[in-house]
């Protein structure tokens, strides 16, 4: 899987270390080997986008593989939020990251998103409830 976030320059390396640690620790607790890579992508005056890719062996069943991925994805996403990174720089939020949107945006940000969705899609036809519950 590949994760991406964006942070100010001063917080990039500490965040990278924390996210990599979360991924490796999650796999270690599952007694599963992994390879983890990271690189900077989009560079800006005040920060950059950090991409992290991790690989791990398939488990005994597809369900076990998916559960392993979910554990790692959750740990890595929580590390992103904990370091003040955005849960998605450009790939989008969607169902995988939805639970991490509220801590990033806060109540005012969520209210603005709800209002924008209501204004642009008053009939609720465009993926209702996918980004924000109740939208």
DSSP letters for 81-95:
HHTT--S-SSS--HH
pLDDT of residue 135: 66
- Residues 81, 98 share a domain: no
Say how far apart CA 67 and CA 74 lie, in whole Å: 11
Say how far apart CA 131 and CA 124 lie, in whole Å: 12
Domain hosting residue 121, numbered range: 93-135
C-alpha dist (Å) from residue 133 to 94, 111, 116, 130: 12, 12, 14, 7
What is the reported pTM? 0.88
- Residues 126, 84 share a domain: no
CATH number at residue 126: 1.10.45
Q: How does residue 134 score in pLDDT terms, banded at 50, 70 and 90?
A: low
More confident residue, 135 or 125: 125
- As beta bridge partners, residue 47 has 8
For the chain, the domain total comes to 2
Half-sphere exposure of 54 (CA within 13 A, CB side): 25
Answer whether residue 57 shows pLDDT above 70. yes
């Amino acid at each position: 899987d590949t994760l991406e976030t964006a942070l100010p320059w001063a917080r990039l390396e500490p965040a990278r270390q924390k996210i990599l640690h979360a991924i490796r620790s999650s796999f270690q607790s599952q007694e599963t080997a992994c390879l983890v890579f990271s690189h900077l992508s989009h560079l800006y005056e005040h920060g950059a986008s950090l991409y992290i890719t991790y690989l791990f062996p398939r488990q005994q069943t597809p369900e076990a593989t998916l559960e392993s991925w979910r554990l790692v994805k959750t740990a890595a996403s929580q590390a992103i939020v904990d370091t003040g990174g955005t849960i998605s720089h450009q790939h989008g939020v969607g169902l995988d990251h939805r639970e991490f949107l509220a801590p990033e945006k806060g109540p005012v940000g969520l209210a603005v998103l709800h209002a924008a969705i209501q204004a642009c899609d008053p009939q609720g036809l465009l993926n209702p409830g996918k980004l924000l519950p109740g939208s």
